[in-house]
Amino acid sequence: MIGATPQLKSARRRGELQGKLFQAFLYLSIAVGLVTLGTLVVQVVIRGVEFVDLVLLLESPSADPQIAGARPAILATIYLGLLLIAFTVPIGVGTAIYLEEYADKSRWYNRALEVNIQNLAGVPSIVYGILGLAFLVRGLGLGRVLLAGAMILTLLVLPIVIISAREAIRAVPDTIRQGAYALGATKWQVVSRQVLPAAVPGIATGSILALSRALGETAPLLLVGALTYVAFDPTLLGDFTALPVQIFQWTVRPQEDFKILAGAAIIVLLLILLTLNAFAIWIRNRYQRKW
* Under rule CB under 8 A, residue 37 binds another protein: yes
d(CA 28, CA 16): 18
* Under rule CB under 8 A, residue 60 binds another protein: yes
Q: Are the C-beta atoms of residues 185 and 196 closer than 8 Å to each other?
A: no
The region of 2-10, 33-41, 50-58, 166-174 touching another protein under the rule CB under 8 A is 33-41
Judged by CB under 8 A, the chain residues 219 through 258 that form the site for another protein are 219, 222-223, 226-239, 244, 247-248, 251-255
Size of the site for another protein (CB under 8 A): 120
* Under rule CB under 8 A, residue 18 binds another protein: yes
* Under rule CB under 8 A, residue 28 binds another protein: yes
Among 45, 170, 177, 277, binds another protein (CB under 8 A): 277
Whether the CA torsion 258, 229, 273, 162 is positive or negative: it is negative
Between 23 and 57, whose beta carbon lies closer to another protein? 23
Residue 285: half-sphere exposure toward Cβ, Cα within 13 Å: 6
The region of 1-9, 49-57, 93-101, 166-174 touching another protein under the rule CB under 8 A is 93-101
d(CA 97, CA 101): 6
Q: Are the C-beta atoms of residues 101 and 191 closer than 8 Å to each other?
A: yes
Residue 145: half-sphere exposure toward Cβ, Cα within 13 Å: 13
Closest distance to another protein from the beta carbon of 246 (Å)? 10
* Under rule CB under 8 A, residue 32 binds another protein: yes
Nearest by Cα to 260 from 48, 40, 41, 43: 48
Closest distance to another protein from the beta carbon of 98 (Å)? 4
Task: Name residue 200's amino acid.
Answer: V
Closest distance to another protein from the beta carbon of 186 (Å)? 6
Judged by CB under 8 A, the chain residues 68 through 87 that form the site for another protein are 79, 82-83, 85-86
Closest distance to another protein from the beta carbon of 41 (Å)? 9
Helix (H, G, I), strand (E, B) or coil at 152: helix
Closest distance to another protein from the beta carbon of 6 (Å)? 20
d(CA 178, CA 162): 24
CA-angle at 265, arms to 260 and 271, nearest 5°: 130
- Exposure letters 174-194 (e unless 16+ CB within 10 A, then b): eeebeebeeeebeeeebbeeb
* Under rule CB under 8 A, residue 269 binds another protein: yes
d(CA 225, CA 77): 13
* Under rule CB under 8 A, residue 124 binds another protein: yes
Judged by CB under 8 A, the chain residues 132 through 191 that form the site for another protein are 133-135, 138, 143, 145-146, 155, 158-159, 162, 181-182, 184, 186-188
* Under rule CB under 8 A, residue 201 binds another protein: yes
Among 113, 171, 177, 284, binds another protein (CB under 8 A): 113
